[in-house]
Amino acid sequence: MSAAEQLPSSLRSALTYSIGVLALRRPFLHKLLDYEDESFAFLMFILHSHTLRTTDASFSESLYALRRRPAHNSTPLRTRQKLLSLLFLVGLPYLKSKLHSIYNKEREARLQASLWGDENEGFYGGGSFEHHSVVETTLDNDDSPIRTRVTNTNRVQKIVGFCYPWLHATTEGFQFAYQLLYLLDATGYYSVALHALGIHVCRATGQELMDTSSRISRIRSRERERLRGPQWLKTLQGALLSCTYTVLDYAQTGLIAAVFFFKMMEWWYQSAEERMSAPTVYPPPPPPPAPKVAKEGIPLSPDRTICPLCSQKRANPSVVTVSGFVFCYACIFKYITQYKRCPITLMPATVDQIRRLFHDV
């Protein structure tokens, strides 16, 4: 996916995160999160409409000085092409996000229904028993209209749940194929939408950038000339237009700065949370003191590889866990079985406290 296509998704993530943080202090902002798809679609409609009208490019394309041109000539986009571009830029992503949301709800409902042992229940079948009983009571009170509506809704959600994975895989496959062919110079279109519209995306020249600035100035002058009414009303309308133009002129820079700022804040708070939740690492405690050799016990040899019991090189070295001294396995097993103690410290021990060593030092 190109950088121009990644920008809307990054912008949406940043805005959703920032609104979620602000909603902790201003609960009324939760309404925006409840209608996240509609709010973001409305924002992108405004931004894409402005940039298509003034620069013949989408919002993200205008940031990279790109322009949309008809495939067969270099003339500016016609009104019909701009409207269709707006449909592909705003309408289809909004529709896809809604289908994705319905698919997720249907999948969760099926998962909950399978946990309760009824995989045939639809969207209203999964979930809590309270919700299920409320739906049944509602259906019993007024059979015809509500039952029909719930049945139709359930049927549509099941159809979406079945068809959406195939639709998503098909669109993503076509998108990947077009981008691969575009990289191989096999086609001049890097997306299905551009091919359907017959539009190429090309780099704007210096002259085109100057012409764009002149065209924006002329459009705004004509809009000011069309103001009607008393002088105070014209002044008010002119001030509102000036504010609107200023917001639109700096919207791109402001949104990019906002994305960077909120991503930085997200990284900062995430790092702080990780530092707070990370377990404190303490240095290992010092080892306990070595047990003392008993006066009546077997003396130790200066050579640490010699078994104190048989005075030979240790074979199958084994340690007594109560004292930490190492012997031959056969020697220590026989000694502890008979005397029930460590031969050096005389501490009580059992054969269960003998451990084989696979690395002797």
Q: Write out pLDDT tens, residues 209-220.
A: 777 777 777 777
Tell me what pLDDT residue 133 has.
Answer: 46
Tell me what pLDDT residue 360 has.
Answer: 65
Average the pLDDT over each of 4-18, 69-83, 232-246, 331-345 and give the range with the smallest value.
Answer: 4-18
> If we measure between CA atoms, which residue out of 110, 108, 89, 100 comes closest to residue 168?
100
Tell me what pLDDT residue 354 has.
Answer: 92
Tell me what pLDDT residue 218 has.
Answer: 79
**CB-CB contact of 77 with 69 (8 Å):** yes
Distance CA 61, CA 50 (A): 12
Beta strands in the chain (DSSP E): 66-70, 199-203, 317-320, 326-328, 354-356
pLDDT tens digits, residue range 93-129? 889 888 888 888 888 877 777 766 554 444 444 444 4
Q: For CA atoms 264, 267, 269, 272, give the dihedral sign.
A: negative
pLDDT tens digits, residue range 147-192? 777 777 778 778 888 888 898 899 889 888 988 988 888 888 888 8
Q: What is the DSSP string of 280-318?
A: PP-PPPPPPPPPPPPTTSPPPPSSTTB-TTT-SB-SSEE
* 2 pLDDT above the threshold of 60: no
Check residues 325 and 32 and name the one with the higher pLDDT. Answer: 325
- Beta partners for 203? 66
Distance CA 56, CA 46 (A): 14
Contacts with 311 (C-beta within 8 Å, 6 or more apart), sequence order = 301
* 273 pLDDT above the threshold of 60: no
Q: Is the pTM of this model over 0.85?
A: no
For the chain, the farthest-separated pair of C-alpha atoms sits apart, in whole angstroms, at 117
What torsion do the CA atoms of 206, 212, 218, 219 make, to the nearest 10 degrees?
Answer: -170
* 134 pLDDT above the threshold of 60: no
Distance CA 178, CA 188 (A): 9
CATH homologous superfamily of 292-361 equals: Zinc/RING finger domain, C3HC4 (zinc finger) (3.30.40.10)
pLDDT classification of 43: cutoffs 50, 70, 90: confident
Q: Would you list the domain boundaries of the chain? A: 3-277, 292-361
